[in-house]
Amino acid sequence: MRFLEVFNEIEKGNYALTDESVYASIQNGDEFISLYGGNKDHRSTDRRISVSAKTLKGTPITVFTGEGIIISLDGSAGSMTYKNNERFALNHHAGFITAREDATERVNLEFFAIYLQNFYRNLSVSDGSKTLSLTQIYNEEFNLPTYDVQCRALKRLRGTASKIEQLLQIKAKLKSLVEKEFSVNYRSFQAKGVPISRCIDYMSGNTGLTEEAIYHTLQLETERYDVLSSATEERTMMGKMPMCMIEGRALKVFENKPGLLVTRNGKAGQTRFLNPGKYTINDHAYILFEKENSPYKIDLRWLGIQYRRSFLSFASSSDNGTWNMTGFFRYTSLDIPYLDEQVALVKEVEKIQRQIDGIDTIICRFSSLLSKEIDG
């Protein structure tokens, strides 16, 4: 069957629903509701907005309620979360799915959100930030078991899904520790108030480095480089690219020294440490590195941790924002402790990250079990 045989058209969230709109709504003094976007999990949020808020264009926001499914259309595209009578708002990176009146006994919404989630995630296109269009959703065909089978299967799925949810909550708490601004009483400093441009440089990306460009160079037998983009997880890398010409220019590469990947758009301002290796990037990211003539010793892992808020502060405020590299290098200054104190902070954060990685492994096992229960 096709989507519109059992569902109404997806109601997208509001455009121009920016941080400015959120802050302005604080003055309204009425009820606040959760604001969701293209995130993976629509159960917890650190963003709330007044029910009487307006977008930057002066349009009153849509307040969603009733039984339905939030689906991410950008960012974590394809992720779905079942909702029943919660009041919330959406920006335009997400939409709300409701069943047609004549199809309420053909589809169980809670079952659908679990059963078809991987199907829609796989439909999304990854090039910096995953996207999923309404046209894709409406045109693709899928199969559903009978309504009775859906309801019986859901009883089995709930137990495993509940365990996954508990693990996700623990993971969220650990991530909040990693992502907070660290207040550390360093004993001594190499220097304070150092313009970042004195000790850190950057490499911009290769225009035209797309998945299609990678495909056309598969037959070349030159040295290959890992292609990085705005995705900050290793599993979402774009593959490998041989040394070649891209749009008439030699491929820009980064190799044999540590770096700090900074996303230019999508989840703008996010960082990921790069061990020495062979890398290239498309124009959705930058790589920062220590200048050879820097008078200071800087651990790039420490830089990404300690100055996380600074990186994010130069990103435009949307789920698919843009990182302002020029502003970051013009206005950011560093207080640089000695290297041993930088490393001490890195080790503390890495302990938490190992716990997060362990939870991810367990979640993968539960998700695999969930898939087996669905198939069974």
Q: Which amino acid is at 128?
A: G
> What's the pLDDT tens digit per position in 366-376?
666 655 555 55
Q: How many domains does the chain fold into?
A: 3
Q: Is 107 exposed, middle or buried (0-12, 13-18, 19+ CB in 10 A)?
A: buried
The string over 261-287, giving b where at least 16 C-beta atoms fall within 10 Å of a residue's C-beta and e elsewhere, is bbbbbbbbbbbbbbeeeebbbbbbbbb
Q: Is the confidence at residue 60, as pLDDT, over 50?
A: yes
- Same domain, yes or no: 27 and 134: yes
Q: Is 304 exposed, middle or buried (0-12, 13-18, 19+ CB in 10 A)?
A: buried
> What's the pLDDT tens digit per position in 203-230?
999 998 887 888 788 778 888 899 998 7
Supply the pTM of this predicted model: 0.60
Mean pLDDT of 51-73: 92
Count CB atoms within 10 A of the CB of residue 19: 11
- Same domain, yes or no: 106 and 31: yes
Mean pLDDT of 231-259: 80
- Same domain, yes or no: 52 and 134: yes
C-alpha 197: how far from chain center: 28
- Same domain, yes or no: 316 and 350: no
Please say which residue of 115, 144, 173 terminates a domain: 144
What is the rounded distance in angstroms from the CA atom of residue 341 to the CA atom of residue 182?
13
- Same domain, yes or no: 103 and 47: yes
Q: Is the confidence at residue 328, as pLDDT, over 80?
A: yes
> What's the pLDDT tens digit per position in 84-135?
989 999 999 899 999 999 998 899 999 998 888 778 887 875 444 468 889 9
Domain range for 108: 3-144
Token pair of 127 as six digits: 């090039």
Query: Any idea which residue has 């020029």 for tokens?
Result: 326
Query: Any idea which residue has 């159960």 for tokens?
Result: 43
Q: Residue 252 maps to which CATH number?
A: 3.90.220.20
- Confirm if 73 and 132 have CB atoms less than 8 A apart: yes
Collapsing DSSP to helix, strand or coil, 94 comes out as: strand
Q: Is 239 exposed, middle or buried (0-12, 13-18, 19+ CB in 10 A)?
A: exposed
What is the rounded distance in angstroms from the CA atom of residue 203 to the CA atom of residue 330?
16
- Same domain, yes or no: 133 and 84: yes
Where helices occur in the chain by DSSP H, the ranges are 3-6, 19-25, 109-115, 117-123, 134-139, 147-179, 211-216, 300-306, 308-313, 325-331, 339-375
The string over 167-198, giving b where at least 16 C-beta atoms fall within 10 Å of a residue's C-beta and e elsewhere, is ebeebeebeeebeeeeeeeeeeebeeebebee
- Same domain, yes or no: 194 and 259: yes
Collapsing DSSP to helix, strand or coil, 246 comes out as: strand
What is the predicted pLDDT for the residue at 128?
41
What is the rounded distance in angstroms from the CA atom of residue 272 to the CA atom of residue 233?
8
Question: pLDDT tier at 297 (50, 70, 90 boundaries)?
Answer: very high
Question: Over the chain, what is the mean pLDDT?
Answer: 85
- Confirm if 286 and 203 have CB atoms less than 8 A apart: yes
* Closest among 72, 41, 271 to 167, alpha carbons compared: 41
- Same domain, yes or no: 154 and 125: no
- Same domain, yes or no: 30 and 128: yes
Antiparallel, parallel or unpaired: β 224-228 and 278-281: parallel
- Same domain, yes or no: 197 and 251: yes
- Same domain, yes or no: 195 and 325: yes
- Same domain, yes or no: 159 and 140: no
